[in-house]
Amino acid sequence: MKVKKILEKNNIKPSIIRVKILEYLMKNKTHPTADEIYSHLKKELPTLSKTSVYLNLNLFLQKKIIHDIKIKEEQRFDFMEEEHLNFYCKLCKKIFDIPLKELKIEIFPNDFYVEKVNIYLEGTCENCGKHKN
């Protein structure tokens, strides 16, 4: 199973909760919040707590397995198989992945080290744009 291998490669014991959280993020490209992940998985794992979800998401963030994005003061989570930008449609409220082939940042002095770029674009998606006129 791909999920277990990812966890083991990052020295994380693949507990059922960890596997389910990461599987959910890999299958659902909706950029869910921790509460959305909890609500979905609670049906399958009745003993799941919100604390467990938050602790494991933070562990995945530390190990750089997932990324978080903050859109409209809301922390959302994303499993990134490849680098991309996020586009937030202000009409339908969906977040879309925009493929990014290469991002090179050369605006910082040599003694700055950029660990993470968190950029999102905002506007209207193709579908909402058609209905706007």
Domains and CATH numbers, the chain: 2-78 (1.10.10.10), 84-132 (3.30.1490)
The residue among 24, 34, 19, 33 whose CA lies nearest residue 95 is: 33
Q: What is the pLDDT tens value at each position of the chain, 133 positions in all?
A: 699 999 999 999 999 999 999 999 999 888 999 999 999 999 999 999 999 999 999 999 999 899 898 888 889 999 977 777 888 888 888 888 887 765 555 666 677 766 666 677 788 888 888 766 5
CB neighbour class for 8 (10 Å; exposed up to 12, middle 13-18, buried from 19): exposed
**pTM beyond 0.75:** yes
